[in-house]
Chains A and B, each alone.
Chain A
Amino acid sequence: DTAVSQTPKYLVTQMGNDKSIKCEQNLGHDTMYWYKQDSKKFLKIMFSYNNKELIINETVPNRFSPKSPDKAHLNLHINSLELGDSAVYFCASSPQTTYEQYFGPGTRLTVT
Chain B
Amino acid sequence: DQQVKQNSPSLSVQEGRISILNCDYTNSMFDYFLWYKKYPAEGPTFLISISSIKDKNEDGRFTVFLNKSAKHLSLHIVPSQPGDSAVYFCAASANFGNEKLTFGTGTRLTIIP
Using a CB–CB cutoff of 8 Å, the interface residues on chain A facing chain B are 4, 31, 40-45, 48, 55-56, 58, 90, 92, 94, 99-106
Contacts and interface: CB of A to CB of B under 8 A. Distances in A.
Interface stretch (B38-46, B63-71, B77-85): B38-46
Contact of B93 (A43, A90, A99, A104): A99
Given A40-B105, A100-B49, A106 B100 contact: no
Interface string B23-50: 0000000001010100001111110010
A18 to B, nearest CB: 25
A42 B105 contact: yes
A41 to B, nearest CB: 6
Contacts of B101: 45, 99, 101
Interface of A is mostly: strand
B99 A94 contact: yes
Interface residues of B, number: 21
Contacts of B89: 43
Contacts of B32: 99
Interface of B: 32, 34, 36, 41-46, 49, 87, 89, 93, 96, 99-103, 105-106
Contact of A44 (B34, B36, B99, B103): B103
A19 B6 CA distance: 33
Contact of B44 (A44, A45, A103): A103
A31 B42 contact: no
Contacts of A40: 105
